Amino acid sequence: MTVAVSTVDSTYLLSQQFLDVCETALASTIAGTPDLSYVYPVEPVIDCCPALIVFLSALTEESTSPFTPTAAMGMRAAFGRLNLVTLNAWILRCAPRANADGSIDVTEIESVAEQVQQDAWALWNGIYHAVRDGTFEDTCSDVHFGPSRPIREQGGCLGWAFTIRAELGGFAP
């Protein structure tokens, strides 16, 4: 397997490509893709919704040898490694609000629940198909799905977080 050599722009371009995949996936939901959709420099503060935010959270490596003992990790430069870029996509929707008298509207809660669950399932499947079909990265690159998790209500928002690790070739300094 050969991975294309990257440049200093590659992590941002990969983030933008991941954002495009997520926007396409969310377009099929009842709420659609949020108007506020962007690549952020680091993990953002949750204070504005609806929004779709993609950000880079880690650069890591993985050994190319199966059954490599932990102690051999320092030898990756000699035996080869994979560069992995950890990308996150957060879909945020507005949380249900209490009425002026403090009561809650169950219909609104269930409407938000439907919307947020559609977002989760659309992203899960959209990302999977983009990886499988080669529209994200290519079919020869490794893409590892991390855990997806709900984002608890904060700042008037809630939603889902998705994490992937994508292979990216290095470049000569």
Q: Are 169 and 3 in contact (CB under 8 A)?
A: yes
Q: What is the pLDDT of residues 13-25, one digit of tens each?
A: 999 999 999 999 9
Tokens of 63: 């050994």
What is the pLDDT of the chain when averaged over all its residues?
86
- Rounded Cα gap, residues 128 and 132, in angstroms: 6
Tokens of 5: 């050599």
May I ask the CATH architecture of the domain 10-65+76-167?
2-Layer Sandwich (3.30)
Is the pLDDT confidence value at 145 over 50? yes
Where exactly are the structural domains of the chain? 10-65+76-167
This prediction has a pTM of 0.86
Specify the 3-state DSSP secondary structure of 162.
strand
- CA-derived radius of gyration, the chain: 19
Give the pLDDT score at 95: 93
Give the pLDDT score at 117: 97
Q: Are 40 and 53 in contact (CB under 8 A)?
A: yes
Length of the chain equals 173
Give the pLDDT score at 153: 94
- Rounded Cα gap, residues 93 and 42, in angstroms: 20
3 or 98, which is more confident?
98
Backbone φ, ψ for residue 112 (5° rounding): -65, -40
What percent of the chain has pLDDT above 70? 83
